């Protein structure tokens, strides 16, 4: 699965709906960001992620990982 970081996920999903893109689920929100899945024309599942970088960095540090942007 491919994952893309995006800005303003809600606005993007509305635009994708207008263009008849298959939206697989509803936007889910977590402390570290928002996610939704779509399908491309070849049937590949794509994850769109609007990160909350502050919380994502905290999560990574709590797991002993170094995160990058």
pLDDT tens column, 18-31:
999 999 999 999 98
Q: Which residues contact 53 (CB under 8 A, 6 or more apart)?
A: 69
Question: Is the pLDDT assigned to residue 43 strictly greater than 70?
Answer: yes
Query: Which superfamily does CATH assign the domain made up of 2-62 to?
Result: 2,3-Dihydroxybiphenyl 1,2-Dioxygenase, domain 1 (3.10.180.10)
Confidence band for 68, pLDDT divided at 50, 70 and 90: low
Beta bridge partners, 68, equal: none
pTM: 0.78
pLDDT given at position 46: 98
Question: Is the pLDDT assigned to residue 3 strictly greater than 80?
Answer: yes
Residue 43 CA to its chain's centroid (Å): 18
Residue ranges of the domains in the chain?
2-62
């Amino acid at each position: 699965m491919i994952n893309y970081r995006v800005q303003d996920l809600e606005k993007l999903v509305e635009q994708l709906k207008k263009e008849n893109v298959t939206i697989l689920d509803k936007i889910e929100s977590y402390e570290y960001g928002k996610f939704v899945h779509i399908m491309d024309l070849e049937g590949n599942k794509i994850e769109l992620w609007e990160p909350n970088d502050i919380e994502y960095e905290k999560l990574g540090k709590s797991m002993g990982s170094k995160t990058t942007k």
